[in-house]
Structure 1
Amino acid sequence: MKKSLVALAALAVAGVASAQSSVTLFGVVDATFNGYSNKSENVFGQTAKITKNQLTNSGYNSSRLGFRGTEDLGGGLAASFWLEAGIANDDGTTGGNVSNVTGTTTTGLFNRRSTVSLSGAFGEVRLGRDYVPTFWNDTVFDPFGTNGVGSNLINTANGGSIPNATGFTTNQLYVRASNSVGYFLPPNLGGFYGQVMYAFNEATKYDPGILTPNVANSQRTGRYVGGRFGYANGPLDVAAAYGEATIGDDFFAGSTSTLKTWNLGASYDFGVVKLFGEYSQAKNKVDYSVPNVTDIFAFTEPGAKGWLLGATVPVGPGLIRASYSAVKYSDLRIPGATNAISQNLTQVFGLQDPKADKWAIGYVHNLSKRTALYTTVAYVNNKDNRLTGNGLSTTGSYVSTTTGYVPKTSTAYDIGIRHAF
């Protein structure tokens, strides 16, 4: 009897597998020797450094393990799935952090992409966790692809150190959004392409509203809406994107914090060199449904503008990569400001908006189509002591400002190997 059940189970599995047109196991294993030095300085010109050398991962491509498959439904229709998990091959851990509707993070296995979709002549409808439209330009038009120490400062500003009314916050919806519905244009439009996305925050609503629990970031945080449209033909690729991500809310204070981002990127391949460029602008707008007297003089739209210029040059089996990126913040609260009025003093006394720039250069040597050796060096110059998140490290750390030191410069390197399968 047991043998019969096993046989039936095997037949069932075989039947499911045969119904698929294709099922693929794929992945990337990327190991990196990484080192950085973040220098701080006090008013007397004395310097202090934080340095570290480590073995880490994802210096060239993000390490991952995934499964994807497609079933031909006939009549030009196809159903597909994609399950992709981030892996940390330097210590053997899998999965990673996934943002939820409260703005905090939870551990998820398929934290990179987890989607099911239906496609045909109309395009593709995709459901699940996926890249947001506004992230694509930051990675596609960067020679370093937002990986490793060479990643541009637009990536740093829009993802890791978004300015808000009290300082900086992390944008949980910068790269991907969970609980999303996306639509992609069909690929036969003469080079034109595009996508739109809406992500649900999945908040529980109460009627009457007074019964709503007084928990911050529980009613609107997690919502995303955006789109990206572009044109790619021959050596030219150009695209523009816009998105709104709700990154904070307080129901009883009547406030909602929405990060509004737009960017424009392009690349052109001359053969001997491929050029890249991008401009990005983000504003963190705080809306109040009830007038807020303490913020009557506030700059309620702190934000950042960033730009990038880059190039790749093929050299035999290798590729030289180089980029320059910069970011400038605006309407930031001065260090120690306790309310909107003291924040306003930043402009009254003419303090400059903080900014930073970054240089990066690297080389990739392809041993085969799937295996490559690479190295990158980068340098960041902080031009204001509030940009503590612009350190070339996994934590962005400097000597604490409470000790009298302020962030100044960072240098870092990556030396690694990448294998894809």
Structure 2
Amino acid sequence: MKKSLLAVAAIGAFASAAQAQSSVTVYGILDVGYIGSNAKEGTGGVNKIQKSAFGQSAEQTSRLGFKGTEDLGGGSSAFFTVELGLTPQNPNLSGGSAGDGLQQTTNGAGSAIDNRQSFVGLKKNGIGQFAFGRQYTPVFNTGAATSPGQYNNVVGDVVYNGSSSAYFSGATTASGNNNGLGFTNRASNALTAQSDRFAGFQVGGMYALNNQNQSQTTSAAGATTGGNTNWNGWGLNGNFTWQKLYVGVAYQSFKTQYTSFQDTTTGNYNFGGNSVTGGVRIDNNGVLANPNQTSDKQTLVGATYDFGILKAYAQWVGRKVQNDTSLSVAQLTAGGSTATSAVAAGEQLNRNAQQIGVRSYITPTIESWASIGTGKIKSTVGTASANFVGWQLGSNYYVSKRTNLYAIYGQTQTSSVSGNTGSGNGANQYAVGVRHTF
């Protein structure tokens, strides 16, 4: 009898403990449909590419997530999120190499699962929260709050530029897993902090640290090298809300360092696409630099105002990628480069863009948006620069609270600059599909 009572007590204790654990929520998005595009690439846009496919993630990147919280008492709680990217139209349901070609970093090429976010943290009501793991960056979060297209993956958004490689010859239709050209979306090995809102103000920050000492058997372009790899970054953000007005600003800076130079003559350092002919690369040799160390500084300012019948948006983004080391021709050729001129520290490739837009519910079930923006790409090696323009139209029809049909059209064009590889490129892209959230 005593043993039975002890067993019942033990079961009750375990049940109580289980109820005190995290309440876990499963959530996700599946976005599929038709995606088509027409593009011009190569110097002066001489190459024509047309694509047509039943694709995925045109309006929003498909994903599967798990998140939960645990009440620790006294206004404190623990929380976690694990979010995986999904590619429902591909043979592999998940996986990829979400990398940043400008920083020469990757999220593990060929990984079995695409890790969009994975973090755990603590929160104190009235103060704020902090978290460790792979997380969205301050610039990404500020841009998300002020994006008229809500970070869709159709061309035309000059700030986010989410699917810039979708219509070039070196890539298939967009999966939404890669970083945009305007800024770095996520940071691994990151510590973030965010305050609660006080008198309309909220502030936050990020520090990402991934310093390591490892043997580099190959450089970015295949030349045999060896040495250390160090990567780190930090960022700050703040926003202010007053009645129907929202204003946000964010800044972040990343550094990537190699003991031996990284040969970029194949076109890794370019703004405009991930193929050799697909980018705008404006300097003497068609590339930015052959760096030992690269710094990448990014700034975004955005605002929204809700007029009731529509919501107005405005954004500005700037990105400066800089070579921080000097290398002679002898050093470059010894490492396998084909460069014929020395590399000087301080060489930069700059991109900035500004965009305005509106978003409104025409009826309780029909939502539409429009945006237009301009920008410039400029290299400090030489005096050349290229201007670009983009615009986008889109609409949602909500058949239920969780399911909508959508249609999106976008277009972009880069000016032609004599002698600069990739200038004169342009594309239009269109998508119709269905998105379901759960």
TM-score of the superposed pair, with normalisation by structure 2? 0.73
Aligned counterparts of 2:52 and 2:59: Cα–Cα separation in 1: 17
* Matched letter for residue 350 of structure 2: G
What residue ranges of structure 1 are gaps of 5+ in the alignment?
Answer: 1-6, 162-168, 206-211, 333-343, 389-400
Matched, 1:327 2:327: no
Question: Relative to structure 1, is the Cα distance of residues 406 and 73 closer, same or farther in structure 2, using a 3 angstrom cutoff?
Answer: closer
2:155/2:161 contact within 8 Å kept: no
CA displacement 1:138-158 (0-9 Å, x = unmatched) = 333221122121551222399
Matched, 1:234 2:251: no
Aligned counterparts of 2:410 and 2:191: Cα–Cα separation in 1: 37
Which residue matches 2:185? 175
CA displacement 1:321-345 (0-9 Å, x = unmatched) = 101122201116xxxxxxxxxxx4x
1:99/1:172 contact within 8 Å kept: no
Aligned counterparts of 2:254 and 2:43: Cα–Cα separation in 1: 37
Which residue matches 1:223? 232
CA displacement 1:65-101 (0-9 Å, x = unmatched) = 1111100001111011111111112235124335599
Aligned counterparts of 1:296 and 1:283: Cα–Cα separation in 2: 17
Matched, 1:284 2:301: no
Question: Relative to structure 1, is the Cα distance of residues 20 and 95 closer, same or farther in structure 2, using a 3 angstrom cutoff?
Answer: farther
Partner residue of 1:309 out of 322, 335, 356:
356
Partner residue of 1:186 out of 189, 196, 208:
196
1:150/1:376 contact within 8 Å kept: no
Which residue matches 2:312? 275
What residue ranges of structure 2 are gaps of 5+ in the alignment?
Answer: 1-7, 167-178, 221-226, 262-290, 330-340
Deviates more, 1:58-67 or 1:99-108: 99-108
* Residue correspondence of structure 1 range 237-276 to structure 2 within 5 A: 237-246=246-255, 248-252=256-260, 255-276=292-313
1:215/1:250 contact within 8 Å kept: no
Question: Relative to structure 1, is the Cα distance of residues 110 and 60 closer, same or farther in structure 2, using a 3 angstrom cutoff?
Answer: same
* Residue correspondence of structure 1 range 4-153 to structure 2 within 5 A: 17-40=18-41, 48-91=47-90, 93-99=93-99, 103-106=105-108, 107=111, 109=113, 111-120=115-124, 121-150=126-155, 152-153=157-158
* Matched letter for residue 239 of structure 1: G
1:387/1:407 contact within 8 Å kept: no
Name the SS of the counterpart of 2:348 in structure 1. coil
Question: Relative to structure 1, is the Cα distance of residues 99 and 358 closer, same or farther in structure 2, using a 3 angstrom cutoff?
Answer: closer
Aligned counterparts of 1:416 and 1:127: Cα–Cα separation in 2: 36
Name the SS of the counterpart of 1:223 in structure 2. strand
1:57/1:88 contact within 8 Å kept: yes
1:158/1:282 contact within 8 Å kept: no
Deviates more, 1:279-288 or 1:127-136: 279-288
Question: Relative to structure 1, is the Cα distance of residues 15 and 215 closer, same or farther in structure 2, using a 3 angstrom cutoff?
Answer: farther
Pairwise CA RMSD: 3.7
Percent identical: 26
Name the SS of the counterpart of 2:19 in structure 1. helix
Question: Relative to structure 1, is the Cα distance of residues 68 and 296 closer, same or farther in structure 2, using a 3 angstrom cutoff?
Answer: closer
* Matched letter for residue 140 of structure 2: F
Partner residue of 1:414 out of 416, 422, 431:
431
1:134/1:262 contact within 8 Å kept: yes
CA displacement 1:369-393 (0-9 Å, x = unmatched) = 21111101111112136999xxxxx
1:59/1:148 contact within 8 Å kept: yes
* Matched letter for residue 103 of structure 1: T
1:97/1:111 contact within 8 Å kept: no
Aligned counterparts of 2:193 and 2:350: Cα–Cα separation in 1: 29
Deviation at 1:234, TM superposition (A): 2.8
Deviation at 1:11, TM superposition (A): 9.0
* Matched letter for residue 136 of structure 1: N
Deviates more, 1:279-288 or 1:104-113: 104-113
Deviation at 1:214, TM superposition (A): 7.5
The structure with the greater share of residues assigned to strand is: 1
Deviation at 1:410, TM superposition (A): 1.1
Aligned counterparts of 1:28 and 1:267: Cα–Cα separation in 2: 26
Name the SS of the counterpart of 2:139 in structure 1. helix
1:184/1:194 contact within 8 Å kept: yes
2:161/2:181 contact within 8 Å kept: no
1:159/1:175 contact within 8 Å kept: no
Name the SS of the counterpart of 2:161 in structure 1. helix
Which residue matches 2:265? none
The structure with the greater share of residues assigned to helix is: 1
Name the SS of the counterpart of 1:204 in structure 2. coil
